[in-house]
Amino acid sequence: MNKKSVRDLDVQGKRVLVRVDFNVPVKGGRVTDDTRIRRALPTVRHLLSEGARPILISHLGRPKGEPDPKYAMDPVAHCLGELLNHQVMKLDAAVGPEVEEELEKWDGRGVVLLENSRFYAGETKNDPDFAQQLASLADLYVNDAFGAAHRAHATTVGVAELLPAAAGLLLEEEIDYLDTVLREPERPFVAILGGAKVSDKLGVIESLLGKADRLLIGGAMCFTFFKAKGYEVGDSLVEDDYLEEAKRLMQEAGDRLVLPVDVVVADRMEEGAASRAVEVNRIPSGMMGLDVSLGTVGLFRGYIDDAKTIFWNGPMGVFEIDAFAGGTEGVAKAVAASEATSVIGGGDSVAAVRKLGLEDEMSFISTGGGASLEYIEGKELPGVAVLPDRED
């Protein structure tokens, strides 16, 4: 990545405001999945070992621009303290005189965690006053929140314009892996796309068709393509507004676009529904396609086995229900077994890989759902664009 890195900063004795992505699930006052906190630790540890005074800030959930105890950062502070093995001083505000006072009293050990940035309306509006208040707390700024880099908010963009800024280690790693996929993939490069909607992923399909040797399509979105081909798709999820677009994509892509050959159909999207496998041009009326079936997994596995680079976004079926999880499991196992550089992006895709315990078998799992897709689409991420280039 050509952006200045936290490693290039002289941080000794400095207050460093670090935008992290601690937007984690919380239930009953406890963090139920600490992945995002763990992924931010390398940057925090680097800063501590260099003698910096890290001041961390993140958003959590979707409070409406004012304090809401439901979204307070206390559970995150507790979890961070356990993982980091250093003192975490959690403050009850993100800016203002009380924060400045606490920071003056701070003995400089451990880290400070500020309160939820979205307790302030200025955060999502990228309000200059709020950004200025944040900037006044620190000497330097580091952005390690890849998952929020597609948002032009005060903590991702505003404050980066006011302080000497750099990218954190996770942000750097995310961009480097996605660049491997986008810019210099070792070939064959196989992209796998699934999930619910074609409309969500049109930009991603378009971008990947320009780069990948094969684009394997599963999930609900394949039924829009099948309907565009003139097949009966029963009650499967179809976006009728996108039939022309699907036709155009199939024409442009030719045999680089690979669709399923068989699917699992059922009369209801429920555990225990009577289900069976059918060929894709024989979906009975009244039934809906909820997963890809064995023939498709075998077909996809052939491409995956030969691949040198793999990007995967979107489950192959309704993996939340065991009866329709087989396609996603089969593809996940094939990707896990492959020697290729494999990058997994997207909230539900990552959840599926985790559920199968295959995270460690993948080369890289992105922490950014929306951010990784926007980057793959070729969009500029405001939180990255604002960072200064490396001087070398």
User: 205 is in the binding site of which of Mg ion, ligand ADP, none (Cβ under 5 to 8 A by kind)?
Assistant: none
Residue 315 engages ligand ADP in binding (rule: CB under 6 A): yes
Closest CB to Mg ion among residues 235, 348: 348
Residue 334 engages ligand ADP in binding (rule: CB under 6 A): no
Residue 234 engages ligand ADP in binding (rule: CB under 6 A): no
Chosen residue from 369, 374, 382, 383 binding ligand ADP by CB under 6 A: 369
* Residue among 7, 14, 125, 197 flagged as catalytic: 197
Minimum separation from the CB atom of position 307 to ligand ADP (A): 19
Closest CB to ligand ADP among residues 345, 382: 345
Residue 347 engages Mg ion in binding (rule: CB under 5 A): yes
In the complex, residue closest to ligand ADP by CB: 195
- Rounded distance between C-alpha atoms, residue 197 and residue 216, angstroms: 15
Structure tokens at 170: 């996770």
Please give the residues from 12 up to 41 whose contact with ligand ADP meets the rule CB under 6 A: none
Note the maximum CA span of the chain. 71
Residue 147 engages ligand ADP in binding (rule: CB under 6 A): no
- Rounded distance between C-alpha atoms, residue 70 and residue 88, angstroms: 20
Residue 374 engages Mg ion in binding (rule: CB under 5 A): no
Residue 158 engages ligand ADP in binding (rule: CB under 6 A): no
Q: What is the DSSP string of 6-75?
A: GGGS--TT-EEEEE------EETTEES--HHHHHHHHHHHHHHHTT-EEEEE---S---SS--GGG-SHH
Residue 103 engages ligand ADP in binding (rule: CB under 6 A): no
- Rounded distance between C-alpha atoms, residue 107 and residue 122, angstroms: 29
Q: Would you call 197 a catalytic residue per the annotation?
A: yes
Minimum separation from the CB atom of position 288 to ligand ADP (A): 7
Interface with Mg ion (CB under 5 A), residue total 2
Mapping DSSP to helix (H, G, I), strand (E, B) and coil, where does residue 86 land? coil
Angle at 278 between CA 273 and CA 284, to 5 degrees: 70
* Residue among 3, 4, 15, 36 flagged as catalytic: 36
Q: Which stretch binds ligand ADP (CB under 6 A): 99-107, 143-151, 314-322, 381-389?
A: 314-322
Closest CB to ligand ADP among residues 120, 324: 324
Chosen residue from 24, 89, 91, 220 binding ligand ADP by CB under 6 A: 220
Minimum separation from the CB atom of position 196 to ligand ADP (A): 4
CB-based contacts of 286: which residues, under 8 Å, 6+ apart?
234, 235, 267
Mapping DSSP to helix (H, G, I), strand (E, B) and coil, where does residue 3 land? strand
Q: Could you tell me how many helices (H) and strands (E) the chain has, helices first?
A: 14, 17
Minimum separation from the CB atom of position 219 to Mg ion (A): 11
- Rounded distance between C-alpha atoms, residue 388 and residue 258, angstroms: 41
Residue 383 engages ligand ADP in binding (rule: CB under 6 A): no
Question: From residue 275 to residue 294, what is the string marking binding to ligand ADP with x (rule CB under 6 A)?
Answer: --------------xx----
- Rounded distance between C-alpha atoms, residue 116 and residue 195, angstroms: 31
Interface with ligand ADP (CB under 6 A), residue total 20
- Rounded distance between C-alpha atoms, residue 25 and residue 326, angstroms: 26
Q: Would you call 326 a catalytic residue per the annotation?
A: no
Residue 61 engages Mg ion in binding (rule: CB under 5 A): no
Buried b (16+ CB within 10 A) or exposed e, 363-391: ebbbbbbbbbbbbbbeeebbbbebbeeee
Query: Omega before 188 cis (within 30°)?
Result: yes
Q: Would you call 370 a catalytic residue per the annotation?
A: yes
Chosen residue from 80, 145, 237, 381 binding ligand ADP by CB under 6 A: 237
Chosen residue from 196, 243, 261, 299 binding ligand ADP by CB under 6 A: 196
Structure tokens at 300: 């996809």
Reduced 3-state DSSP string for 69-82: HHHCCHHHHHHHHH
Q: How do strand 26-27 and strand 30-31 relate by DSSP bridges?
A: antiparallel
Residue 370 engages Mg ion in binding (rule: CB under 5 A): no
Residues that bind ligand ADP (CB under 6 A): 194-196, 200, 219-220, 237, 289-290, 313-315, 317-318, 320, 346-349, 369
Residues within the interface to Mg ion (CB under 5 A): 347-348
Active-site residue numbers? Answer: 36, 197, 347, 370
